[in-house]
Amino acid sequence: MQKFYVTTPIYYVNDTPHIGHSYTTVLADVLTRFHKMIGYDTYFLTGTDEHGQKVQRAAEKRGVSPQTHVDEYSEHFKSLWEKMNISYNQFIRTTDPAHIRFVMEKLQELWDKGEIYPEEYEGWYSVGEERFFTEDELVDGKDPISGRPVEWLKEKNYFFRMGKYQERLIDYIRENPDWIVPDFRKNEVLGFLKQPLHDLCISRPKSRLSWGITLPFDNEYVTYVWFDALINYVSAVADKKYTDGSPIWPATYHLIGKDILTTHCVYWPTMLMALGIELPEHILAHGWWLVGDGSKMSKSGGTGVSPMEYMDKYGVDVFRYFLAREMVVGQDSVFSHEAFVRRVNGDLANDLGNVLNRVVHLSAVNFDGKLPAPKTPFSALETELRNAAMIVQKCVMEWIPQVKLSQVIEEVIGLARHVNRYLEQKAPWKLAKDESKKDELAATLYTAAEAVRLALSFLTPVMPQKTAEGLAMLGTSFDGIEDLKWGKLKGGELLQKGAPLFPRIEEEKTEAEKQPKPAQNKPLSAEDIPGMLELRAAKITRVKDHPDAQSLYVLELDAGDAGKRTVCSGLKNSYAASELQDKMVILFANLKAAALRGVMSHGMLLAGENDGKAVLIAPPENAEAGDRALFKGIPAGESRELKIKDFDKIQLKVKQGVVYTGEVPLEINGGPVTCEAPDNSLVH
């Protein structure tokens, strides 16, 4: 029997669960159920990461002991998973005594082997991120991740000899090209490994942090939270077996968000190498769920969309469906109300739900409340539908082990659409009026019902409850892999007519929405654009290669009050990274955010052209990051998001080194925005 051991990250208990946590966990659950469905023996591990500074601080803030805090917060996760119908095998907590023993044992083992050594260490320490940074990792002298101040710290610590595994790890990644999925994340890790790999500080003095696992060889220290956390994947299953008695480790898939790529693809494998433990088979990094404006979902409240709200309002299964279908594994996705309604009303109500209702209703009315048995030999249309269903079955079997989840779901919904088309072609409501066509009517309804049964069966991992209800309407159920073949329905099944399985979400219009559309939606003319372009001076604070596109840089920008931004820019052929670092540029800040090969770009840099190369336009000397550029005499217009096609309604040109639209120069604080490109060069 084939095996599937899947893990989610163990979640910090400094925060209540949000959509990000829900997604990874639903993904793991759906994949586990799919694997089970196609005959794998499965094991699904999730849990909570309960040590470390973040947790200690969250407890302090609430005025409770860390233990009380973690007990309560891990319950929040557990009860959410129960509500979301998450069928994990095990929920590990890093405060479990068995885990603590295991971690101490492994630390001792590494110490005995000389893989851990003590050293005096000095460096920039970020309290927020609980780690040291090197001088060149700092951005503007601050923590490059949280942007918070850092402090210079000197102390003895214990180090894991991570650096010595660098070459072995690089070789391993190269020899196992599908170890890190998707491919561009693998390249990101290989990129990271081009720099010398340092040893890893794995301790914290108890004077600074007491909430952790004590180092077995030094009572004054606790272990670094990541060291403790990563080991959960092995400690959890140390004494567990598959049904045939074989060990559960190694994991088939570690599912992680892209934020924790390095810890999982660098720290973790080197730790395993040092311990002589087999590496996991795959590490899959998924993208971020973004809110409507393209920014990362807030972790704690604020703009965070609460998963609870959507679940309570529209039901757990529909929510699971949305998460599983909407995100192409690896890419970022936007969580918006509109996208949610589109999926529910389109895929579920119009396609799948509608076809089920039609079949149940027509059969029940014409065949005494039962499903008819097929009477006539099948025609080409029936064969076509049956073949289509079998192709979807093949996709499920082949693609699920490759984690192509949204693609599988798309195929299944495609099958439901095919049945709808088939019904349009056969028009059973007309056949029903002609007594001589009764057999053809029976064959039609039977064929449609069997195809819908399969569509529902394929989706049982995604929507366990709803699909069971839908199958019950057809007088059947899903009982195992044999049911994925054509022909389970025999005719004579007792049908259950009832309310639609997937009710449409009918939007209630607010009073404001009933009013004529506000100016927000009026089409823009060329005259509107110059005032509405939000062009701002910004400083490039960081230049990285795009992980998956040769011509692009991924730039971090500081746009003052307008915030920090990530922008993908096709400047590779025009500028070396070092020329861009710290450069002042002009950012088109209210351009609709877009994903460029998997990286969200929040705006665009403007440049003229010289000899086929881009020449960035530049703010005047006195401009500061965030200052707005305006066309002389044109006040700032309505503030709203623009599209490229809006920008293209006007032309920006260079004249004697200054950027103009028509005869009007672009300025910041009275000084011109300039560009070292020849006259008449277009700025875009």
Residues lying near ligand MSP in the complex (CB under 6 A) are found at 9-12, 20-21, 23-24, 49, 229-230, 256-257, 259-260, 288-289, 296-297
- The tokens for 211 are 């909430």
In 3D, which of 671, 643, 654, 560 has the Cα closest to residue 615?
654
Residue among 257 and 530 whose Cβ is closer to ligand MSP: 257
Decide if 195 contacts 230 (C-beta within 8 A). no
Smallest distance, Å, CB 638 to ligand MSP? 30
In 3D, which of 391, 503, 500, 407 has the Cα closest to residue 34?
407
Smallest distance, Å, CB 598 to ligand MSP? 14
Q: How far apart are CA 571 and CA 554, in angstroms?
A: 10
- The tokens for 19 are 């959509």
- Which residue, judged by CB position, is nearest to ligand MSP in the bound state? 20
Smallest distance, Å, CB 165 to ligand MSP? 19
Smallest distance, Å, CB 331 to ligand MSP? 11
Q: Tokens 């999730």, residue? A: 46
Q: How far apart are CA 119 and CA 480, in angstroms?
A: 57
Smallest distance, Å, CB 234 to ligand MSP? 11
Smallest distance, Å, CB 174 to ligand MSP? 25
Residue among 229 and 318 whose Cβ is closer to ligand MSP: 229
Q: How many CB atoms lie within 10 A of CB 639?
A: 9
Residue among 185 and 536 whose Cβ is closer to ligand MSP: 185
Peptide bond connecting 182 to the previous residue in cis, omega within 30 degrees of 0: yes
Residue among 9 and 470 whose Cβ is closer to ligand MSP: 9
Q: How far apart are CA 268 and CA 262, in angstroms?
A: 9
Phi, psi torsion values for 579, nearest 5 degrees = -70, -25
Using the 8-state DSSP alphabet, how is residue 89 labeled? S
Going from the C-alpha of 595 to that of each of 284, 311, 637, 646, the distances in angstroms are: 19, 27, 27, 19
Q: How far apart are CA 17 and CA 372, in angstroms?
A: 48
At residue 280's C-alpha, the angle toward residues 10 and 47, to 5°, is: 15
Q: Which long-range contacts (CB under 8 A, 24 or more apart) does 521-529 make?
A: 524/642, 524/646, 524/649, 525/649, 526/649, 526/650, 528/637, 528/638, 529/642, 529/646, 529/647, 529/649, 529/650
Q: How far apart are CA 213 and CA 198, in angstroms?
A: 23
Residue among 335 and 422 whose Cβ is closer to ligand MSP: 335
Residue among 22 and 541 whose Cβ is closer to ligand MSP: 22
Phi, psi torsion values for 48, nearest 5 degrees = -130, 145
Smallest distance, Å, CB 317 to ligand MSP? 20
- The tokens for 158 are 């214990």
Q: How far apart are CA 128 and CA 151, in angstroms?
A: 11
Residue among 9 and 182 whose Cβ is closer to ligand MSP: 9
Smallest distance, Å, CB 428 to ligand MSP? 44
Smallest distance, Å, CB 9 to ligand MSP? 4
344 CB-near residues (< 8 Å, 6+ apart): 314, 318, 321, 322, 502, 504, 505
Residue among 78 and 488 whose Cβ is closer to ligand MSP: 78
Smallest distance, Å, CB 257 to ligand MSP? 3
- The tokens for 184 are 């561009």
Smallest distance, Å, CB 24 to ligand MSP? 4
Peptide bond connecting 250 to the previous residue in cis, omega within 30 degrees of 0: yes
Residue among 24 and 569 whose Cβ is closer to ligand MSP: 24
Going from the C-alpha of 521 to that of each of 291, 329, 514, 638, the distances in angstroms are: 21, 33, 14, 12
Residue among 229 and 580 whose Cβ is closer to ligand MSP: 229
Smallest distance, Å, CB 334 to ligand MSP? 11
Phi, psi torsion values for 254, nearest 5 degrees = -95, 115
Smallest distance, Å, CB 283 to ligand MSP? 11
Residue among 296 and 564 whose Cβ is closer to ligand MSP: 296
Q: How far apart are CA 435 and CA 101, in angstroms?
A: 76
645 CB-near residues (< 8 Å, 6+ apart): none
Smallest distance, Å, CB 230 to ligand MSP? 5
Q: How far apart are CA 655 and CA 674, in angstroms?
A: 9
Smallest distance, Å, CB 206 to ligand MSP? 21
Residue among 256 and 615 whose Cβ is closer to ligand MSP: 256
Using the 8-state DSSP alphabet, how is residue 351 labeled? I
Q: How far apart are CA 419 and CA 395, in angstroms?
A: 18
Smallest distance, Å, CB 464 to ligand MSP? 22
Residue among 23 and 34 whose Cβ is closer to ligand MSP: 23
Residue among 48 and 157 whose Cβ is closer to ligand MSP: 48
Using the 8-state DSSP alphabet, how is residue 618 labeled? B
Q: Tokens 């915030």, residue? A: 563
Residue among 92 and 666 whose Cβ is closer to ligand MSP: 92
Residue among 283 and 408 whose Cβ is closer to ligand MSP: 283
Q: How far apart are CA 548 and CA 328, in angstroms?
A: 16
The three-state (H, E, C) secondary structure of 399-433, written as one string: HHHHCCHHHHHHHHHHHHHHHHHHHHHHCHHHHCC
Strand partners, 283: 180, 254
86: left (phi over 0), alpha (psi -120 to 50) or beta: beta
